[in-house]
């Protein structure tokens, strides 16, 4: 049994929330009973496809009712150590008390006034000073909007239509310019799809080929600074050089890496500055806030003090400057300044990665279960007996970890994950990987009790 008061930087859940029950789910009956209602009221049964029922084993997709720290409770009263952490947005922990206090204090003065507030100015100035990622900033509510706005600026600035995105990175926006490039392009006109091209990560030759094939036609290059593998030596600097030579705007998507890799995003860690970059997720610790930042020359195209370019209707959102979200962002930055959040994410992530890899070796599945990504933001890959990527084995792993009180669509660490929790997680994963080994040896059909999970990007259900 875990005792959250024994160690760790985050505050423990209230005493009344702790229970003597072990972290081993007894039943998913309540969650199963809700599925029909969920799908009747909400397309897909979820407001985020990555949280959908098709991403979890059938009959083992828990509907949650609360969270505290890195623990979550479902409708059946089951408790899980969580490693999704709000799709990587919650770095400090669920219901982190200083964050909630900041939001409540701001809401008491009104959430949405009829003119800009001093809070907007203070948050903008603090964000620019804290990240050192740009000269100006515009806030919005989600990463899709700010990344699309970055493309709009790039197209207006360059007078070009084509954009190129990294083919090895899974998501940039829910808008047409990106969704038209995926396996689920329904509803996106072919003419829009044709405007987005691809290059490969850590492959400067593929970028050079794009510039050769489309000379002076690319408005922007868009990529995450790092995903599952780090940038190769010279890759980011090479992109910067190529974009400068071609007059192309370089855009870094820091939606995930920002505030997780480094206070200033992965760009600060690797020392290469883009023209524009986008932040979200950890900026609000789960609250809805995103940011577009970059060079004044580009950002001012959406402002009132330029006279040599056409105006850009950049971002104009009713809720972009809600007081509680801005107050939360300030508290997040204050917490990062006063506490070793980033160091904790890297340190505990390394401990978790090393433990998971050791567990895989001990169970003889190291070639079939691979831990991927930077320690502060781990994921994993599942492979069958032939060494091929396998959704069925991913489902088996999810099945066995859910049975052992882990909600682990990924292994994303937070400031609330203590050493005791990480070590306990490794023990539970080792047990799950024992079943994985048996399924490799005897056939997965003997162990998998569900249809396989499905990729999000698919044309048909």
Q: 10 Å Cβ neighbour count for 168?
A: 16
User: What spatial distance separates the first Cα and last Cα of the chain, rounded to whole Å?
Assistant: 40
266 and 239, same structural domain? yes
Mean pLDDT (whole number) for 40-62: 91
Q: Which domain holds residue 383?
A: 15-95+340-446
As for how many domains the chain has, the answer is: 2
Band of pLDDT at residue 1, cut at 50, 70 and 90: very low
pLDDT (tens digit, 9 = 90+) per residue, 160-205? 999 999 999 999 999 999 999 999 999 999 999 999 999 999 999 9
215 and 294, same structural domain? yes
Provide the pLDDT for residue 13.
44
Band of pLDDT at residue 458, cut at 50, 70 and 90: confident
Q: Is residue 335 part of a domain?
A: no
Provide the pLDDT for residue 310.
86
Beta strand 196-199 with 162-166 is parallel
Q: Is residue 48 part of a domain?
A: yes
123 and 41, same structural domain? no
Q: How far apart are CA 453 and CA 458, in angstroms?
A: 12
154 and 76, same structural domain? no
User: Tokens representing 243?
Assistant: 């974009």
Residue with tokens 């496809």: 49
Beta strand 276-279 with 249-254 is parallel
Mean pLDDT score across all residues of the chain:
93
Q: What is the CATH number of the domain that holds 213?
A: 3.40.640.10
Mean pLDDT (whole number) for 418-436: 96
pTM (2 decimals)? 0.93
Mean pLDDT (whole number) for 207-221: 97
Provide the pLDDT for residue 95.
96
Is 50 exceeded by the pLDDT of residue 46?
yes
Mean pLDDT (whole number) for 355-374: 98
């Amino acid at each position: 049994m875990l005792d959250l008061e024994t160690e760790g930087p985050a505050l423990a859940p209230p005493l009344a929330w702790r229970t003597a029950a072990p972290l081993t789910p007894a039943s998913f009956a309540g969650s199963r009973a809700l599925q029909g209602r969920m799908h009747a009221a909400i397309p897909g049964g979820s407001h985020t496809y990555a949280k959908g029922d098709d991403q979890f084993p059938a009959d083992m997709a828990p509907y949650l009712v609360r969270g505290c720290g890195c623990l979550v409770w479902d409708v059946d009263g089951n408790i899980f150590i969580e490693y999704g952490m709000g799709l990587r947005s919650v770095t400090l922990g669920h219901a982190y008390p200083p964050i909630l206090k900041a939001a409540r204090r701001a809401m008491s003065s009104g959430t949405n006034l009829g003119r800009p507030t001093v809070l907007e100015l203070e948050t903008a100035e603090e964000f620019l000073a804290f990240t050192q990622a740009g000269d100006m900033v515009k806030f919005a509510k989600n990463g899709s909007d700010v990344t699309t706005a970055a493309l709009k600026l790039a197209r207006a600035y360059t007078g070009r239509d084509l954009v190129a995105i990294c083919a090895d990175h899974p998501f940039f926006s829910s808008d047409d310019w990106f969704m038209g490039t995926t396996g689920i392009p329904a509803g996106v006109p072919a003419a829009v799809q044709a405007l987005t091209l691809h290059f490969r990560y850590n492959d400067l030759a593929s970028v050079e080929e794009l510039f050769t094939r489309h000379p002076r036609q690319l408005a922007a290059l868009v990529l995450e600074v790092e995903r599952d593998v780090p940038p190769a030596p010279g890759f980011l600097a090479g992109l910067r050089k190529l974009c400068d030579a071609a007059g192309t705007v370089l855009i870094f998507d820091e939606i995930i890496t920002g505030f997780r890799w480094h206070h200033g995003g992965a760009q600060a860690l690797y020392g290469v500055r883009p023209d524009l970059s986008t932040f979200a997720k950890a900026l609000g610790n789960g609250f809805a806030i995103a940011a577009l930042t970059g060079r004044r020359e580009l950002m001012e195209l959406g402002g009132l003090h330029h006279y040599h370019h056409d105006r850009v209707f950049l971002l104009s959102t009713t809720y972009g400057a809600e007081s509680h979200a801005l107050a939360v962002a300030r508290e997040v930055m204050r917490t990062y300044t006063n506490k070793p959040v980033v160091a904790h994410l890297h340190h505990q992530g390394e401990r978790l990665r090393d433990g998971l890899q050791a567990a895989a070796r001990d169970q003889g599945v190291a070639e079939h279960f691979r831990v991927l990504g930077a320690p502060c933001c781990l994921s994993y890959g599942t492979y069958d007996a032939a060494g091929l990527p396998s959704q069925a084995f991913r489902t088996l792993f999810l099945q066995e970890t859910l049975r052992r009180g882990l909600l682990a669509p990924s292994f994303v660490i937070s400031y609330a994950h203590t050493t005791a929790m990480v070590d306990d997680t490794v023990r539970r994963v080792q047990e799950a990987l024992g079943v994985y080994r048996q399924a490799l040896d005897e056939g997965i059909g003997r162990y998998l009790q569900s249809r396989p999970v499905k990729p999000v990007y698919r044309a048909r259900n």
